[in-house]
Amino acid sequence: MSKYLDLSIRELHELLVSGKIKPKDLVLEAFDKLENSDLNAFITVCKDEALKRAEELENADKSSMLYGIPIAIKDNINTKGIRTTCASHMLENFVPFEDAFVIDKVNEAGMIIVGKTNMDEFAMGSTSQTSYFGAPKNPWDKTRIAGGSSGGSASVVAGLLAPIALGSDTGGSIRQPASYCGIVGMKPTYGRISRRGLIAFGSSLDQIGPMTKNVYDNALVLNSLVGYDEFDLTSSNREAEDFTRLIGEDIKGMKIAVPNYFISDIVDSEIKENVLSVCELLKENGATVDFIDIKHLEHAVTLYQIIAMGEASSNLARFDGVRFGYSADSNSVDELYAKTRAEGFGSEVKRRIMVGSYLLSGDNAKEYYTKALQVRNSMKESFDEAFKKYDLIIGPTTTTVAYHLGEGMDDVRKTFLDDVLVIPVNMAGLPGLNIPIGFNHEHMPIGLHIIGNRFEEAKMYKLGSFIEKELNLDLKVKEENHE
Amino acid sequence: MEKLSKEEVLHVARLARIAVSEDEIEKYQISLKQLLDDVEKIKDINDISEDVLVTPAFEGCKLRSDDEVDTTDFSKFKSNIPHSVGDFIEVPVMINE
Amino acid sequence: MSNYKKTVGIEVHCELKTKTKMFSNTLNNYGAKENSQVNTIDLAYPGSLPLVNKGAINLALKAALILNCKINKLVCFDRKNYFYPDLPKGYQITQARHPIGVDGYVMINVGGIDKKVRIHDIHIEEDTAKSIHQTDKSYLDFNRSGVPLIEIVTEADMHTEEEAMAYLTKLRELFVYADISDCKMEEGSMRCDVNVSISKDDTLGVRTETKNIGSISSVGKAITAESIRQEEILENGGVIVEETRRFDEKDCKTILMRVKETGNDYRYFPEPNIPEFEITDDEINSVKSEIPKLPDELRSEYRTLGVNENNIKTLISNRELCSFFEKVKEFDPIITSNLITGDILSYLNKNNLSLKDIKLNEDNLKELVKKIKNSEISSKQVKTLLPILMEKGGNVEDIMKEHGMVQISDDSALQTIVDKVISTNPESVNDYKNGKDRALKYLMGQIMKESRGQANPVTVNKLLIETLNK
């Protein structure tokens, strides 16, 4: 049973600052739970390091809101001295000697890393079933997927194994598992958080973000992760801001848009109903809700396939058995490459690299890749237009609730279609937030997707927090007693 | 079901430097074809901009001064290197191009 | 001999003379211990991202300006994807869409005729790692990985070996003078690939590319060898295949490396990790203002100053000497150039030294030139004094005093010597009076000898003539 880990960060902070509990108490509870968990949410746990850190923190400055709070890190983010596998045989034994930028931030804020979370191999997938280490499970129903690619992170937070997890999102990989697991997940504006130390999948799409139980916690964590990094040329140079600052403000007068495509027939009717009832709630509270069209939303999957697979085919070329990672026995360079990559990568990754390589070869680069970048620009411009008139755009995060493990594994396209509603945000570099808004008839969580204009995360948290308070859902998974 | 030819599969596998077994070729003939059919849709999209969007980072590019230096001791890399001799990284002999 | 016309285009890679690398912040340090100048970016570690070196951008911009290129102010990069162990990321970051400079030219002079070699483009990229090969293993050193390169691509504008060599010599001269690159072919900081085709008429033949030729003179030899090879094939009814070859210095022939892969398999696409950026007019002007006087301008200036062609050639070919000359030439360019390209250069060569190793400096060389010009020192004294200046330094006046090289300008002291020489050489005096000019020179020599080289020759000459005509 949870003693502390079901509490909010604010509640934990009060307990820690008052001295009623020590960081070590939280760490011990986290390990007690995760060691007995059958969610398969972690690839690597680091108990010794976490306990040592908890002790070190006892006499440290406690002013940070995140002081002493355990956090789980997606296993594609480099952690010094802790192996970072990307859920791949290729990096099964890879140990970085430098922390990612966000890990420095996590440490500066006084958080305690408890382990590295399971995910789709190299973040390629929507179910976390492509993991070399087996799929993590959905705490709401362990026969179901946690979503992906940040499935382990979502599972950790929903399963109350740690109050915070970091995920990464290339085409929905934070928001979609957050939706499936009934938690809050933010993919910030592209450039908000440095990507240095995040093992690249699609460089122009990737973004790290926080996954938490509630909106306020999420904003607090985001506060600690942002900041300019001169070693990531796409990192934003903006001044620091407090993302919690608008939380609690009245939503009266807010202008909300819902793209028609987001409530079209591709979306499960129960989910659609939930989203539309949220729209009613917003109107009742003085916001306006309009239904609009955004260009090319229906082409999101095609764009994603071309851009993400193209970039990935190039980003993953460095895994060649020469400088790090898995290396197959071989007598020639050609054999070294072909065997290392055949044996080191799983089938989803290989398929994407092959298709990506094909899309960039010869004249294809122009026909597919350049064209996709033009469509991408057009989509971005259409979003820009919408944000001239509206504060926020909302819709469902996913077209269905979390489905059963193993389902649809024979269709290589399904995994892309799962992310149809969340991909456009990555294409345009916008921030996107998932918040839980209800359950379907099987009591599986349903998520709302809130899209903001670039760098307007604070506004999204304001709306998200308002809805969260109004709905006042019971989002606690019934815990099993391990005693 | 439509398939890629065996040669087409071998061609993309070669581009990607990934060895494929006979069994795998058969699977890829179908699965790669499905994905390639998907991306084919890009050709039918109209009403697009002239300009490309390469990355949604719009704050320009801060260049680094030539005077900033940060070197890493090679010993730190060593435990991750599959094959090394002294401070050299070893690979099967490269056909000298 | 042959009725085929050769057509040559050249691609040159030059390593830029920066302190650090192109996309990482490790040192660009030739000759360092293997893998001692690396970090996670150079080894393409997972999670590493490129940085952009402003110094390298400026040097490339300078090169583009010198080659009279149109500048693409919008700077962006692309990935060129291919697999090779010396390419850690599996792609090279380069400029495929918008090279920093396009449509430039270089003027060359072959056999007294000026000719324009057009530059197609100049673009920025990064170098690969160095590899050492043994029988069954290769060994990689990533110090060179990421060193900034510029690639300069000409149009197929050259038709003879001489033109190709003149182009390369000119390019090297320009880059060395503008401090863009060392252009040391022996160290690989300048590398040439040569495209050669032959044809009997104005249509272009199928071209081959010969890679990585070791010296400018070898480029000439490689073009000869490759055009002869192509001619033999055509004369025997064969066809030329588009292929990549290398030049074998020993056998003086080109050898097949690989047949060109059909089409473009480099899978170019825009580098998403580097947002595009603009070079401003101010930045261009500031780089322009840093361009020093270049060899062509120096040559014509030196000609105007009366420096002889040999000295000009020697000065221009040695950049260090030339910039020293620039600093000291004002007082008398001719005397100065003679000293620098004569005694000074041979001293340096003999002792394997460069100017920075010796004590001669701007001040004492200028002082010396002044003394020579005013005939306050004899050429014999110069021969003694220069090595001392170079080895020990100091000022000319002091050294002359120290070594008893005082000039006798005092009329009465010199008159005594003149009188003595005249009285001991009556035959020469007679010869002089009979109109033999040679006699005067002989007497002058005797007087200088008598004064141990210390007599002021101008005064002596005046006194001697006066005395003889009395």
- Quick check: B14 contacting C, CB < 8 Å? no
Cβ(C463)–Cβ(C448) below 8 Å: no
Determine, for residues C268 and A365 on separate chains, whether the beta-carbon distance falls below 8 Å. Answer: yes
Q: What count of CB pairs under 8 Å joins A to C?
A: 98
- Minimum-distance CB partner of B71 among C38, C136, C267: C38
Contact check, Cβ <8 Å, C91/A314: yes
Examine residue A149 and say whether the peptide bond preceding it is cis (omega within 30 degrees of 0). Answer: yes
Residues 15-74 of A with CB under 8 A from B: none
- List the single residue in C44, C52, C264 with the smallest CB-CB distance to A233: C52
- The reply to whether residue C136 touches residue B92, judged by beta carbons under 8 angstroms, is yes
CB neighbours (10 Å) of residue B45? 18
At A125, is the pLDDT very low, low, confident or very high (cuts 50, 70, 90)? very high
Tokens of A210: 């926080």
Q: With a cut of 70, say whether residue A430 has pLDDT above it.
A: yes
What integer pLDDT is reported at residue B97 of this predicted model? 45
Q: Which residues of A are catalytic?
A: 74, 149, 173
Question: Which chain A residue is nearest to residue B75, measuring alpha carbons?
Answer: A97
Give yes or no for residue C367 having a pLDDT over 50: yes
In this predicted structure, the answer to whether residue C366 has a pLDDT above a threshold of 60 is: yes
Distance from CA of A315 to the nearest CA of B (A): 12
Q: Which of C47, C88, C275 sits opposite A100 (nearest CB)?
A: C47
Interface test with chain A among B3, B12, B46, by most A beta carbons within 10 Å: B12
- Residue A367 scores a pLDDT above 80: yes
pLDDT in tens, C419-469: 888 888 888 888 888 888 788 888 888 888 888 777 877 888 888 888 888
Given a cut of 60, whether residue C264 has pLDDT beyond it is no
**Do A196 and A78 have their domain in common?**
yes
* Least trusted range by pLDDT, from A86-90, A291-295, C34-38, C360-364: C360-364
pLDDT for residue B12: 94
| Parent domain of A187 | 9-254+396-471
Which residue shows structure tokens 């499960």? Answer: A268
Contacts of B73 (CB under 8 A, 6+ apart): none
Which residue on chain C is closest to A84 by alpha carbon? Answer: C46
Q: What pLDDT, on a 0 to 100 scale, did the predictor assign at position C294?
A: 94
Give the pLDDT mean for C341-365: 91
- The rounded percent of chain C whose pLDDT value lies above 70 is 98
Please state which of the ranges A175-184, B25-34, B42-51, C382-391 shows the lowest mean pLDDT: C382-391
CB contact under 8 A, B18 and A354: yes
Report which of A116, A36, A30 is spatially closest to residue A80, judged by C-alpha positions: A116
Measure the CA–CA gap between C156 and C194, rounded to whole angstroms. 10
CB-based contact, B94 to chain C, within 8 Å: yes
Is B64 an interface residue toward A (CB < 8 Å)? yes
Residue numbers in B near A377 (CB within 8 A): 48-49, 51-53
C-alpha–C-alpha distance, residues C302 and C299, integer Å: 5
Q: Which of A233, A353, A413 sits opposite B38 (nearest CB)?
A: A413
pLDDT of amino acid C312: 95
Chain B contact set for C143 (CB, 8 A): none
CA-wise closest residue to C69 among C127, C125, C150, C8? C150
Task: Report the run of H or E that residue A73 belongs to, with start and end.
Answer: strand A70-74
Give the pLDDT band of residue C412 (cuts 50, 70, 90): confident
Q: What pLDDT, on a 0 to 100 scale, did the predictor assign at position C456?
A: 79
| Contact between B94 and C86 using a beta-carbon 8 Å cutoff | yes
Residue B69, chain A, CB below 8 Å: the answer is no
- How much is the average pLDDT of C208-231? 94
B65 shares contact with chain C (CB less than 8 Å): yes
In this complex, the residue of A203, A360, A373 whose CB is nearest that of residue C273 is A203
Question: Would an 8 Å CB–CB cutoff place B88 in contact with chain A?
Answer: no
Summarize pLDDT for C234-263 with one digit per residue, the tens.
999 999 999 999 999 999 999 998 776 554
Chains that touch C (3 or more CB pairs under 8 A): A, B
Tell me which residues of chain C, numbers 140 to 159, contact chain A at a CB-CB cutoff of 8 Å.
140
What pLDDT was estimated at residue C262?
Answer: 52
Kindly list the residues from chain A whose CB atom is less than 8 angstroms away from the CB atom of residue B36.
355, 358
For chain A, say whether B38 makes contact (Cβ under 8 Å).
Answer: yes
Least confident of A376-390, C116-130, C300-314, C368-382: C368-382
Query: Is the CB of B91 less than 8 angstroms away from the CB of A333?
Result: yes
- Residue spans of the domains in chain B: they are 6-43
Residue C377 binned pLDDT confidence (cut-offs 50, 70, 90): confident
C275 at the A interface (CB within 8 A)? Answer: yes
Q: Is the pLDDT at A326 greater than 60, yes or no?
A: yes
Same domain, A54 and A93: yes
Identify the pLDDT of residue A1. 67
Is the per-residue pLDDT at A482 higher than 60? no
B1 touches chain A (CB under 8 A): no
Partner B contacted by A1 (CB < 8 A): no
**B45 touching A (Cβ < 8 Å):** yes
Residues of C in contact with B87 (CB under 8 A): 33-36
pLDDT at A480 (0 to 100): 61
C137 vs B59, B86, B93: nearest CB: B93
The domain locations on chain C are: 5-202+256-283, 293-402, 411-469
- A72 falls within a domain: yes
Q: What is the CA radius of gyration of chain A?
A: 21
- Assess whether pLDDT exceeds 90 at residue B29: yes
pLDDT: which is higher, A410 or C185 = C185
Question: Across residues C200-214, what is the average pLDDT?
Answer: 91
pLDDT at C265: 84
**Mean pLDDT, residues A108-127 taken together:** 98
Interface size between A and B, measured as CB pairs under 8 A? 176
CATH code for position A79: 3.90.1300.10
Who's near C146: CB < 8 A, 6+ residues apart?
C21, C22, C23, C24, C26, C41, C42, C126, C127
Say yes or no for a CB contact (<8 Å) between A311 and C272. Answer: yes
| B55 close contact with A: CB closer than 8 A | yes
ipTM of the complex: 0.96
- Band (A345; pLDDT cuts 50, 70, 90): very high
Q: Do A135 and A207 fall within a single domain?
A: yes
CB contact under 8 A, B66 and C54: yes
Shortest alpha-carbon distance between residue B73 and chain C (Å):
7
CA distance A413 to chain B (A): 7
Mean pLDDT, chain A, integer: 96
Is the per-residue pLDDT at B55 higher than 80? Answer: yes
Strand order of the β-sheet with C113-126 is C70-71, C101-110, C113-126, C148-154, C5-15, C190-199, C208-213, C243-248, C253-259
CB contact under 8 A, B96 and C76: no
B7 touches chain C (CB under 8 A): no
What confidence score (pLDDT) does residue C470 get? 76
> A466-480, B11-25, C85-99, C410-424: which has the minimum mean pLDDT?
C410-424
Q: CB–CB of A216/A247 below 8 Å?
A: yes
pLDDT-derived band of residue A483, with 50, 70 and 90 as boundaries?
very low
Average pLDDT, integer, range A190-214: 98
Check if the beta carbon of residue C93 is closer than 8 Å to that of residue C125: yes
The token duo for C329 is 């030439």
CATH 3.40.50 assigned to domain B6-43? The reply is: no
- Neighbours of A, requiring at least 3 CB pairs below 8 Å, are B, C
When scoring C41, C261, C267 by the number of chain A Cβ atoms within 10 A, the one with the most, hence best to mutate, is C267
- Nearest C-alpha of chain A: how many angstroms from B52? 4
Which A residues in the span 78-107 are in contact with B, Cβ-Cβ below 8 Å? Answer: 94-95, 97
Determine the residue among C39, C193, C211 to mutate to test chain B binding: the one whose Cβ has the most chain B Cβ atoms within 10 Å.
C39
Predicted confidence (pLDDT) at residue A470 exceeds the cutoff of 80: yes
Q: What confidence category does residue A481 fall into, taking pLDDT thresholds of 50, 70 and 90?
A: very low
pTM (2 d.p.): 0.92
Q: Please tell me which chains touch B, using 3 or more CB pairs under 8 Å as the contact test.
A: A, C
Residues A248-285 pLDDT 10s: 999 999 999 999 999 999 999 999 999 999 999 999 99
Write down the pLDDT at residue C258.
79
Size of interface B-C (CB pairs under 8 A): 117
Q: How confident is the model at residue A409 (pLDDT cuts 50, 70, 90)?
A: confident
Which CATH number does C411-469 carry?
A: 1.10.10.410
How far is the alpha carbon of A465 from chain B, nearest alpha carbon, in Å?
A: 27
Domain count for chain A: 2
Q: Cβ–Cβ of B55/C36 closer than 8 Å? A: no
Question: CA-CA distance, B96 to C135, in Å (whole number)?
Answer: 11
* Domain endpoint, select from A358, A373, A388: A373
**A311 in the same domain as A196:** no
Taking CA–CA distances from A368, the nearest residue in chain B reads B42
A313/B16 CB distance under 8 A: yes
pLDDT at residue A439 greater than cutoff 60 = yes
**Average of per-residue pLDDT across C154-170:** 97
